[in-house]
Amino acid sequence: MKSRLTLVDCLGIGINGIIGSGIFLLPARVFAHAGGLAWASWFAVGGVCLLVGLCFGEAASGTERSGGPYAYARAAFGDWVGFAVGWMAFASVVLSYGAVARALGRNLSYIAPSLSAPLAQGTLAAGVVAVLALLNWRGVKPGAVASDVFSGAKLLPLLAFVAVGLFFVEPHRLAVPPPNGESTWTALRLGGLAGLFACTGFEYVPVPAGETDNPRRNVPLALLGALLGAMLLYALVEIVFMGTHPDPAHADKPLAEAAAAFGGPWAARLLTVGAAVSSFGFCTGVALVAPRYLSALADDGLVPASLGRRHPRFATPGVAIIVTAVVTITLVLWADFDRLSDLGNVAVFAQYLSTCLAVPVLRWLKPDMPRRFRLPFGPLVPAAGTAGCLLFLKDMKWEDLRFALVTLGCGLLLFAVLRRARRPVPGGAP
């Protein structure tokens, strides 16, 4: 490779993957489920994500291959499970990509009301996806630079929102009891589930590991650093939102409306622009990562080799980039942010569960494999991460789970057809 991703690039992918449009749109949903415990709900879901992230850290520190959770699952469980995880990881990333691309128009509608129309939001999202596909087709480094720039730019309005808004928080607004008389445990669990979409994305960091300098060190550092920083920022943002918004349970654009309440129209416009920058920054990172799932599957011969073919000049997986863009554009023209984010939440657990389970299996199968980062306490952390994922899956909507199962079934059927097509014919070539 002519150019490689650095630790800063990996950190940028992590920040962009985690901090997108979710924190600008989901605080109201978290508050509606958890009441005054909404700020703590971010630590509840963040704790589960941290356990999973630690498992990703160990798995990533033992390989320099691209593919992230797909690569770990295939090494631990073989081709069938590996393909299933890679397929669901790709589904999750394009669903998240589509959700945030659609959220770009929804956020901007605060200052451009014409973008309130679903068709306008879908058209804008499709244009963003097409432009980023072209940028990433020209090389891994241009996409990484764009990701780095927006990962820094998106933090500024959020930090300003917290730094200024904390002075206007009314403490009595933080004492709202959980709705419907729910227990503290239930409120934290449901509030965390409502905010889950804003916490996912750390799993994108190891996907382009094969194009990263010193991936055994840089990938775990970037993944865990981005995750810890995001959870602390989210809790502070929720406190300011709860303490300043006049009707936090029914906010449509929560942070912009809260900023307007304590800072006036100029503050609301600043947060609106910040939300747009954050959404676009997320898209720049995911546009770089998503095609690498397909190219990793192709490199191992699990999907047609054309999906892994590199451009002779730019060394990028051009076909995979085009396929990713086409699928994502189809999604943004089909559904809105809320629907796509809910579906992405379910699909993401396939890679979380498989990675937690892969860590002890890989320790057993490959005890001598060098690992720059090894979890303490034996299987305790992977077991806790697995339990946390199952706990959140229990509360998912049945229609979302059904969509995930149908998606998985279609993927396995495709894999069976591809394997059969590659079998050699007796007396002839494959």
Domain positions in the chain are 7-417
Q: What is the predicted pLDDT for the residue at 307?
A: 79
DSSP 74-133: HHHH-HHHHHHHHHHHHHHHHHHHHHHHHHHHHHHTTT-GGGGSHHHHHHHHHHHHHHHH
Q: pTM for this one?
A: 0.78
pLDDT of residue 93: 86
386 pLDDT above the threshold of 90 = yes
Q: What is the pLDDT confidence band of residue 54, given thresholds at 50, 70 and 90?
A: confident
Q: Are 382 and 375 in contact (CB under 8 A)?
A: yes
Read off the pLDDT band of 1 (50, 70, 90). Answer: very low
> What is the mean pLDDT of the segment spanning 2-7?
66
Question: pLDDT at position 186, please?
Answer: 87
In which band, very low, low, confident or very high, does the pLDDT at 223 lie, cut at 50, 70 and 90? confident
Least confident interval from 82-86, 314-318, 327-331, 351-355? 314-318
Q: What is the pLDDT of residue 331?
A: 92
Residue given tokens 């994922």 in the structure block? 389
> 335-353 burial string, b = 16+ CB within 10 Å, else e?
bbbbbbbbbbbbbbbbbbb
CATH dotted code for 7-417 = 1.20.1740.10
The values of phi and psi at residue 251, to 5°, are -75, 140
Per-residue pLDDT, 9: 77
CB 163 within 8 A of CB 157: no
Q: According to DSSP H, which parts of 37-78 are helical?
A: 38-61, 69-77
Nearest to residue 34, comparing CAs of 192, 250, 154? 192
In the three-class reduction of DSSP (H, G, I as helix; E, B as strand; rest coil), residue 177 is classed as coil
DSSP H or E run through 22: helix 22-25
The amino acid at residue 297 is L
Instruction: Kindly state the tokens that stand for 182.
Output: 């729910």
Judge whether residue 2 has pLDDT over 50. no
Please say whether the beta carbons of 262 and 243 come within 8 A. Answer: no
Q: Is the pLDDT of residue 59 over 80?
A: yes
Asked if 233 contacts 25 with a C-beta cutoff of 8 angstroms, the reply is: no
- Please name the residue that has the structure tokens 């994108």: 204
Query: How far apart (Å, rounded) are the C-alpha atoms in residues 314 and 307?
Result: 15
Tell me what the pLDDT averaged over the chain comes to: 83
Tens of pLDDT, residues 126-182: 999 998 888 777 655 555 565 566 666 778 888 999 999 999 999 988 888 888 778
Which residue in 398, 343, 395, 401 sits closest to 99, CA to CA?
343
CA angle 235, 236, 238 (to 5 degrees): 65
Query: Could you report the per-residue pLDDT of 252-270, keeping only the tens digit for each?
Result: 889 989 999 998 888 888 8
Measured in degrees and rounded to the nearest 5, phi and psi for residue 5 equal -80, 135
Q: Of the ranges 101-115, 222-236, 295-309, 331-345, which one carries the lowest mean pLDDT score? A: 295-309
- Of 82-91, 137-146, 227-236, 282-291, least confident by mean pLDDT is 137-146
**Contact residues for 70 (Cβ-Cβ < 8 A; gap 6+):** 82, 83, 85, 86, 89, 293, 296, 297, 351
